[in-house]
Structure 1
Amino acid sequence: MKLSKISVAIVVLLSTLQGISQEILTKKDALAITLENNFGIKIANNNLEVAKNNKSIYNTGFLPTVSASSGANYKNDNQTITRQDGTSTSIDGAVTKSYNASLNLNYTLFDGLGRKYNYQQLKETYNLSELQAKATIENTYLQLFSVYFQIARLSENAKNLEEALLISKTRLKRAKYQYEYGQSTKLELLNAEVDVNNDRITLINANQLLSNAKRALNVILGVEKEVKYSVETEVDFNKLMNFKDLQQKTISNNITLKQNEKNIAISEFNIKINKSNYLPSLGFSTSYGWNKSENPATSFLANATSNGLNAGLNLSWSLFDGGNTKTRVANAKIALESQQILLEQQKLNIENNLKNTWDNYQNQLFILKAQETNVLTTQNNFERTEERYKLGRVTSIEFRQAQINLINSKTVLNNSKFDAKLIELQLLQLSGDILNVDF
C-alpha cells in the first residue's frame, strides 16, 4: 500500500514537471483566452453596452418628465402705506414670509412622429454596434491565427534547422577523425566547421524570430506569458469548401456588407426624423401646488394658504423655420444615396476579393502537393548522398548541397502549408463563416 502511494506520487510529480516544461497552447485555448482578455474585443463590448443603453426606452422621449420644487422667502423692510381716507401707517421691520411646493408632470403627446423614428433608428444603431463588435471579433480571429500559425511555422522551421545542425555536427566530427588519421585535408575540416557555425547562427536567428512571434501573440491574447510554450503545428483543411457556397454566404453574411445595410436603414430613419419637423407638436402639463404667505400689518391679508391642481395643453407648429428643415431633409437624402452607392461599391470589391482569394487558395493547395513531392525527392537524394559521402564517393560540398536542398524543400513545404491555411481563413472571413470554425 505504501509502495503504491509512492508510485502515484512519482507519477503525479513527473506529470506536473512535464506540464511545466512542455506547455502546449492549443488553438482552442488561445481562442478562449483572446475572447476573454483581448483589449480590442473588450472595447467593442463596451461600445455595444453604450448602444444598448442608448436604445433603452429611457432615451427615447416616450416617457413623461416629473419634477418637484419647493421654496421659502423671507423679507424684512420698513413700510409706510397711505389709505384713501388720508390716514397712514408706518412699520419698521415689517416681516413677510412665503412658502411654496409643487409637483410637476410634463408629457409630449405628439411630436410629429420624431421620437418614434428616433427610437427605431436607435435600435438599428444598436444592431450596427453588434455587427461592429462581430467584425472586431472576426478581425481578431484572423489576427490571432495569423500569429499563431506564424509561431507554428517558425517552430517547424526551427526543428528542421536543429536537424540540419545535428547533421552538420556529425559531419564535423567525421571530418576531424579523417583529418587526424590523414584521410582528408585541413580544408575539409575548415569547411565543416564553417557550416556548423552557419547552421548554429541560422538556428539562433530562427529562435529569436520565434520568441518575437510569441510575444506578439501575447499582445493579442492580452496576457503576460512566458515564451517557453509550444503550439500545435497540425493543419486540417476544409475539403468541402466550394466557390458557389462561399459566394452565396458572402452575399448574405459578409460583415462589411451587413454593416452598410444597417447604415442605409439608419439613413432612411434620419430622413423621417427630419421630416417630422414639418408636423405640429402637442404637449400636456400638470402640476399640484401648495403656497402659504404670512404678511405684516400693512398688508390687506394677514396670511394666505392655497393648494390645488393645474393642467393644460400646449400646441406648437413651426410654419416656416427659414428652410432649415428642408435643407436637413435634402442632405439626409443625399447621405442615403451615398450609402447605397457605397454598398454597391463594396459588393463589387468583395466579390473581386473573393475570386482572387479563391484562386490564390487553389494555387496554394497545388503548390503544397507539389512541395510534398519535392520533399520526398530531396529526402531520398540526401539519404543516397549521405551514404555515398560515408563511402567517400562524393565530396563534402556535394553532401552539403544535398543537405541545403533538403532544408529548403522542407521550409518551402512548411511555409506553403501555413500560407494555404491562412488563405482559407481569409475565405471564411469573407463569407462570414470564420466564427464557426472548429479548431
Structure 2
Amino acid sequence: MKLKHLTYSGLLLGGLLLGTAALAQNGATYLGPEEALRLALEQNIGRQISDENVSISRQNYTRGNAGFLPRVTAAGAKNWSVNNENLEIFGGDRIIETSRRGARSNNLNAGVTANWTVFDGLGMFYAYERLRLQYDASRQLNLNFVNGLAADVLQAYYRHTLQQQQVAVWESTLELSEQRLRLAKDRYEVGRSSKQEYLSALVDYNADRAALLAQQEALLNARHALNRLLGQQPARPLTTADTLTADSSLIASLMEPQPFTQNPELRAAEYQAAALQEFIKEQRSQIWPSINFNAGYNFATINNQVGNLLFRQASGFTYGISGTWLLFDGLNTRRTTQVARIQARIAELDRQQLELDLSSEQADATAAYRNSWQRVALEQENVEYARQNASIALDRYQLGVTTSLELRVAQQNAQQAELRLLNAVFELKLAEIDLLRITGQLANGL
C-alpha cells in the first residue's frame, strides 16, 4: 500500500506553484486576486471615504477661495409708515401750516455692489498655489490608501489561500491517520500487536480530527477578514486560488533597493511641506497694503402724502478705489508667520523621517524576500525527503518491522515539512507584496 500525500510542483514558468486540492464549498464563489482588488476598490468603505476627502480638496481648490474673484452683493428694502404730522412750511412771504392725521409714506431702496481686491501683497497667488498643493497632497494620500488597501487585500487573499492549503494538508494527514488506525486495529484483532498500539493510533486520529477543526476555524476567520476588506458580509462564502505563486521575474528588481519616487505617502508629505511654504508667504503678504476696486448701482424712491417732498426717484452708478494698510495688529501677523515656519520645519522633518522609515522597511522586506527564496528551496528538498521517509515507514509498518510510534513520527515529519513549505511560500509572497507597496507599485494601474 502506497502512502497518500499532497503534490507540489517546483519552480515552473517563472513562478513557484504549490498545488493543493481545492476545498469543496457549497455556494462558494471563486475569487481571483484581480477580482478581489476590483471589489475592494469599488466596495471598501475606507476607499469611499478617502475619495470624498479628495472631493473636498478639489472643491476648495478654486480661484474664488483664493481671493481672486470679486464679491458681489445685492440688497433691497421697502418701508411703509403712517404718521400724524403737523408741518410749518415757509411759502414766500408767509408760513403755511399743514396738519394731517394718518399721513402715509413709503420708500424703496435697492442696489448691487461689488468689491474686488486687486492687490493684497500677492497673497491670493500664494493662497491659490497652497490650495493646489493641498489638492495634490490629498490625491497622493488617496493613492497611498489605495496602495495600502491593495497590499492588505492581497495579503488577506493569500492568507486565505494558505489556510485553504493547510486545511488540505490536515485532511490528508487525517486520511493517513485513519489508514494507520485501520492497520493498527487489524493487527490488534489478529494478535500481531498490542491494544496499547491500537489505542495510541486512535488517540492520534482524534487529535488530528481536532487539529483539522481548528484549521477549518482559522480558514473561516481568514475568509471573514478578506470579506471585510472587500466590503462584503463576513460570512459570505468564497474560495481563492488553490496555489500560492511567487513571481520569479521580480527577483532582479526586488533584490536591489528601489527609489521611492512613486511612493504616494512620501509624495504627499512633499506636497504638504511645499503647501506650508506657500502658507508662510501668504501670511507675510499681510504686511503689504490692500487695494480694492468698488462699484455699485443703486435705485431709490420716496412717496409722501404730505410735506415739502412728495415724490423722489434716484438711480445711478458708483465706483471708486480704496486702500487699507494694516500698520499694527498686536504682532499677530508676526506670530502666525512664525507658527507657519515652525509647522513647515515639522513637515520637512516628518518627510525626512518617513524616508528613513521607508528605507528601513525596504531593507527588512528585501532581506525577508531573499531569505524566503532560500527557505523555499530548502523546504522543497525537505518535503521530498519527508515523503520518502513516510512512505518507507508505512511499508515497514505493514511488514511488521517498525512500530506504530515510528510511523507516526514519520507521518508528522512529512506533515510539518508540507506546512513549513506552505508558510515559506506565503512569507515570500508577503515580502513581495510589501516591497511593491513600499515603492508604490501596487497602486499603479488601479
> CA separation in 2, counterparts of 1:432 and 1:302?
78
Partner SS for 1:36 = helix
Measured against aligned partners, the alpha-carbon deviations of 1:192-234 in whole angstroms (never above 9, x if no partner) come to 1111111110001100110111011111000126554221123
> CA separation in 2, counterparts of 1:187 and 1:91?
127
- Higher deviation after alignment, 112-121 or 345-354: 345-354
> CA separation in 2, counterparts of 1:428 and 1:138?
9
For the pair 1:431 / 2:439, whether they are aligned, the reply is yes
* Matched-pair contact (CA < 8 Å) for 1:246–1:431: no
User: What aligned pairs does 1:172-183 form with structure 2 within 5 A after superposition?
Assistant: 172-183=181-192
- Higher deviation after alignment, 240-249 or 253-262: 240-249
Letter in 1 for 2:380: E
Q: Structure 1 residues 19, 399: CA separation in 2 closer, same or farther (over 3 Å shift)?
A: closer
TM-score using structure 2 length: 0.89
> CA separation in 1, counterparts of 2:184 and 2:26?
39
Q: Quick one: percent identity of the two aligned structures?
A: 29
For the pair 1:114 / 2:123, whether they are aligned, the reply is yes
Within the candidate set 297, 308, 312, 1:288 is matched to 297
For the pair 1:40 / 2:46, whether they are aligned, the reply is yes
Alignment partner, residue 280 of structure 2: 271
Task: State the number of aligned residues.
Answer: 419
Alignment partner, residue 191 of structure 1: 200
Letter in 2 for 1:416: A
Within the candidate set 135, 143, 147, 1:134 is matched to 143
Alignment partner, residue 234 of structure 1: 244
Alignment partner, residue 382 of structure 1: 390
For the pair 1:395 / 2:403, whether they are aligned, the reply is yes
* Matched-pair contact (CA < 8 Å) for 1:168–1:196: yes
Within the candidate set 353, 356, 361, 1:348 is matched to 356
User: What aligned pairs does 1:3-402 form with structure 2 within 5 A after superposition?
Assistant: 21=27, 23-83=29-89, 85=94, 87-224=96-233, 226-232=235-241, 233-242=243-252, 247-250=257-260, 252-297=261-306, 299-402=307-410
Alignment partner, residue 10 of structure 1: none
Partner SS for 2:80 = strand
Letter in 2 for 1:183: R
Alignment partner, residue 8 of structure 2: none
Partner SS for 1:155 = helix
- Higher deviation after alignment, 223-232 or 180-189: 223-232
- Higher deviation after alignment, 46-55 or 143-152: 143-152
Shift of 1:130: 0.5
* Matched-pair contact (CA < 8 Å) for 2:225–2:234: no
Letter in 2 for 1:392: G
> CA separation in 1, counterparts of 2:356 and 2:252?
20
Measured against aligned partners, the alpha-carbon deviations of 1:335-382 in whole angstroms (never above 9, x if no partner) come to 222222222222223222222221122112111111111111101100
Shift of 1:243: 6.5
> CA separation in 1, counterparts of 2:105 and 2:371?
96
> CA separation in 1, counterparts of 2:80 and 2:237?
79
Q: Structure 1 residues 305, 90: CA separation in 2 closer, same or farther (over 3 Å shift)?
A: same
Partner SS for 1:253 = coil
Q: Structure 1 residues 138, 320: CA separation in 2 closer, same or farther (over 3 Å shift)?
A: same
> CA separation in 2, counterparts of 1:191 and 1:47?
62
Unpaired stretches in structure 2, ≥5 consecutive residues:
1-23
- Higher deviation after alignment, 226-235 or 147-156: 226-235
Shift of 1:167: 0.9
Partner SS for 2:400 = coil
* Matched-pair contact (CA < 8 Å) for 1:211–1:227: no
> CA separation in 2, counterparts of 1:72 and 1:257?
59
Shift of 1:244: 8.4
> CA separation in 1, counterparts of 2:376 and 2:444?
25
Letter in 2 for 1:197: N
> CA separation in 1, counterparts of 2:279 and 2:379?
57
> CA separation in 1, counterparts of 2:68 and 2:277?
21
- Higher deviation after alignment, 159-168 or 332-341: 332-341
Q: Structure 1 residues 303, 21: CA separation in 2 closer, same or farther (over 3 Å shift)?
A: closer
- Higher deviation after alignment, 37-46 or 328-337: 328-337
> CA separation in 1, counterparts of 2:256 and 2:134?
28
Unpaired stretches in structure 1, ≥5 consecutive residues:
1-17
* Matched-pair contact (CA < 8 Å) for 2:162–2:244: no
Q: Could you say what the CA RMSD is over the residues aligned between the two structures, in angstroms? A: 2.0
More helix, by proportion: 1
